[in-house]
Amino acid sequence: MLCLTGDVHHRSLRTNDQQFLADPGDSEVKIAVRFVRLAQQYNLKLTLYVTGKTVAEEWDDFRAIADAANVEIGGHTYAGLPQRPLKKLWYRLRGLRPPSHAGRHGSRRSQYRDIRRTVETIRRKTGRPVVAWRSHGLVRNEHTDGLLASCGIRLISDEIRAAESLPHRTAAGLLSHPINIVPDHDHLYHAHRDEEFVRSAQARGYGTDEFGGESYTADRWGRIVEEQLAAVEEAGGVATVLMHPICQFLADEFHTAERLFNTFSQYKNVWASELLELAEQRSW
């Protein structure tokens, strides 16, 4: 069983990936629209985790995603946890490219406001409730799950767990389905993430997760995804795949994404929200 997911961020966040778009008229949202339409060609359901500002600031472009029958929308924080200017300067003075997001939330109160604002903005614009969540950068703390539950969120996908094939319940009662297939962003050569960048990151221990610290060409990354997906399927688990539309575009203009979509179409494919009913049936 496959749960295909992706993350989308607003243009004003100016992520590292966004700065590598060659066409000034292009945007992460417009690329995500093309990604969604490609998934539609293969009858794939897609859960997109979206920042509140994406919906608030780029609704005219985002509407095509909101109206797509194969897409459900989850929350991804409101503003994307932007880095403070002084922190960006700290990185640059050390010759490093600053991460596109901060490494922590603010106070418990500010985190609650962020979650509530995200949920309400998406619901108001799309007319649909938000029950799924993934924090930008997978940033979370001891308050996150309880705050999400208090705002109507019922499931999360904000951990990377290479060996975890089934969803599980958190202490706050949320259903967690971790990313258990090698994710693209930190393991895929694209944008600024070339061999030199990756070697430097490895030396600093940056970007290493349960899948290690290696990055791959798009073709090799795609083949690893296929191998891991087959293993999770054989174990009777739920394979949660994270493919950022902008990463897939910058890596090879969706060439690998389309090959994977053809492979994915051979598996049972579910939205994240559908895991809630399955959890009741299967006692996850």
The CATH number of whichever domain residue 236 belongs to comes to 3.20.20.370
Who's near 79: CB < 8 A, 6+ residues apart?
10, 13, 51, 52, 53, 114
pLDDT over 90, % of the chain: 87
Q: How many domains is the chain built from?
A: 1
pLDDT of 82: 86
Say which DSSP state 272 is in.
T
Residue 98 pLDDT grade (very low, low, confident, very high; cuts 50, 70, 90): confident
- Give helix 255-264 / helix 218-234 axis angle, nearest 10°: 10
Model pLDDT, residue 93: 75
User: Strands (DSSP E) along the chain, which ranges?
Assistant: 2-8, 46-50, 71-75, 132-133, 155-156, 168-169, 175-176, 239-242
- pLDDT reported for residue 204: 86
Higher pLDDT, 57 or 85: 57
- Long-range CB contact pairs, 123-130, < 8 A, 24+: 125/55, 125/56, 125/59, 125/62, 125/66, 126/55, 126/66, 126/73, 128/66, 128/72, 128/73, 130/73, 130/74, 130/75
Average pLDDT over residues 152-164: 97
Q: Could you tell me the two tokens for 39? A: 């998934």
Whether residue 88 is predicted with pLDDT greater than 90 in this model: the reply is no
pLDDT at residue 130, rounded to an integer: 98
Q: Looking at residue 83, what is its pLDDT?
A: 81
- Return d(Cα 105, Cα 69) in angstroms, integer: 33
Rounded percentage of the chain residues whose pLDDT exceeds 70? 100
Q: Does residue 86 carry a pLDDT above 90?
A: no
| Phi, psi values for residue 72, rounded to 5° | -115, 150
Which pLDDT score, from 0 to 100, does residue 126 have?
97
The model's pTM? 0.96
Token output for 213: 């610290």
Rounded Cα distance between 77 and 138, Å, is 10
Average model confidence (pLDDT) across the chain: 95
Rounded to 5 degrees, φ, ψ at 104 are -155, 160
Q: What is the pLDDT of residues 63-80, one digit of tens each?
A: 999 999 999 999 999 999
Helix (H, G, I), strand (E, B) or coil at 68: coil
pLDDT score for 92: 79
- Identify the pLDDT of residue 138: 96
Closest CA to 105 of 130, 86, 131, 80: 80
Picking from 14-18, 47-51, 133-137, 205-209, which range would have the lowest pLDDT averaged per residue? Answer: 205-209
Q: What is the pLDDT of residue 99?
A: 83
- Is the confidence at residue 87, as pLDDT, over 90? no
pLDDT tens readout for residues 161-173: 999 999 999 999 9
Q: How far apart are CA 174 and CA 155, in angstroms?
A: 5
Q: Decide which of 50 and 284 is more confident.
A: 50
Spatial separation of the C-alpha atoms in residues 82 and 233, rounded to whole Å: 37
Range of the structural domain that residue 143 is part of = 2-282
Distance spanning both ends of the chain, measured CA to CA: 14
DSSP code for 165: -
